[in-house]
Amino acid sequence: MGCTKPATHWWSSMFNYTAFDESKAEFVEIAPASELPNGERLFVEVGDKPIVIFNIAGQLFAIGDVCSHDEGPLGDGDVEGHNVVCPRHGAEFDIRTGKAVAMPAVVDIPAYPVQVRDGNIFVGIPKE
C-alpha cells in the first residue's frame, strides 16, 4: 500500500497519483469495504471528481471515471485482466496506473491510491 517508488518518478506519469508520496494526498473515506466485493465496482464522487473503484481479485484500484478520448463515462466498461474498456469507442486503460493502452485514447487518466483502514475504503486525492 505504501509508496515505494522514488519521488522522481511521479512526473513521468503525471496522472498516476498512486506513485505519489502519500503525504501529498488527502485520504477520503468512501464506504465500508464490504460494499465492494470481489469483481464489483463502486462509483463515487469526491469533490467534483467522478471516480470508479474496482475490486479485482481482492485488490482495490481507483481511477477517474472519465475517458480521456471523448469524456465518456468509463467505469461501466468491460474489465479484461487489469484493463477497462471504454464502452463508447473501445479505448483501454490500465486500472492500476490510469495509462491509456489502446486507441483511440492516447492520454492517461488519473489513478488514485486506495487504502482499507478499519474495514473502510479510503481514496487518496492529491492535495491542491
The distance of closest approach from Cβ of residue 86 to ligand FES in the complex, given in angstroms and rounded to an integer, is 3
125 vs 128: CA distance, rounded Å: 9
21 binds ligand FES (CB under 6 A): no
Contact between residue 97 and residue 13 where contact means Cβ atoms under 8 Å apart: yes
Q: Pick from 77, 89, 29: which is nearest to 52 by CA?
A: 77
Classify burial at 123, counting beta carbons within 10 Å of its beta carbon; exposed 0-12, middle 13-18, buried 19 or more.
buried
88 binds ligand FES (CB under 6 A): yes
104 binds ligand FES (CB under 6 A): yes
63 binds ligand FES (CB under 6 A): no
Which of 21, 35, 70, 80 lies at the binding interface for ligand FES (CB under 6 A)?
70
Q: Kindly list the residues in this chain that would bind ligand FES in the complex (CB under 6 A).
A: 67, 69-70, 72, 86, 88-91, 104-105
